[in-house]
Each structure stands twice: as structure tokens, then as C-alpha cells.
Amino acid sequence: MKTKNITLQLSKTLFWDTDINKIDYEKNARHIIERVLMRGMLTDWFEMKSFYGTERIKNEIIKIRYLDKVTLNFCSKYFKIQKKQFKCYNTEPSIQKLWNY
């Protein structure tokens, strides 16, 4: 098991709203994985994959409440998981339509 002293070398822009030095990489794994998948760069993907491993990522992504269509398709194909197994596929988004300004 990895210790809390280990930090991932992720893009600072991924966690613009968080103090990156205070992130608990085990407790907040799902949130970190979600951010990397939806907003990260390829280097972030490799860093995350190296830290968590494929099985941990696979177990966490099916529980994520929202993934955009591109990310969902990527995860489905990469991890060989049917889309209907993802929580985000079976859950309606809370905001159905954006406002028309």
C-alpha cells in the first residue's frame, strides 16, 4: 500500500480549486481519477496509472457519477467494460439542459 507521503506529479491546473499539498491520494482517489480522465494530459494519465494501477482505476471509474461521452467511450473500450455497468451511464445528470442566454 502506498503511503500518504507519496505525491503524484500531476498538472497543477487539474486541482486549481484545491491545495494540492493537502490532497489525500487514497481517500480522494475517485475524484483524482475523474479529474485526470476528463481534464488531464497524457502525462497525468501515465502518472495516475502508475500510482493506482489498472485494477484500482477500473474499480473507481464505474462508480463515478458523471463522465462526458468521449471519456465514457474511452474508459469502456480501454478497460473492456460495458457502458451499462458505469454509474454515470445509468444516472441522469442533475442539469438536463444549459440555459440559453
Contact call for residues 32 and 60 (beta carbons, < 8 A): no
C-alpha cell at 48: 495516475
Q: Residue 97: its pLDDT value, please?
A: 62
Q: pLDDT category, 28, cuts 50, 70, 90?
A: very high
pLDDT in tens, 32-85: 999 999 999 999 999 999 999 999 999 999 999 999 999 999 999 999 999 999
**Whole-prediction pTM:** 0.81
* Dihedral angle, C-alpha 7, 47, 62, 2, nearest 10 °: -40
Q: pLDDT category, 1, cuts 50, 70, 90?
A: very low
Query: Can you tell me the distance from the alpha carbon of 91 to that of 99, in angstroms, rounded to the nearest whole number?
Result: 21
Query: Can you tell me the distance from the alpha carbon of 29 to that of 56, in angstroms, rounded to the nearest whole number?
Result: 9
Q: How far is CA 20 from CA 5, 69, 89, in A?
A: 13, 28, 30
Q: Residue 39: its pLDDT value, please?
A: 94
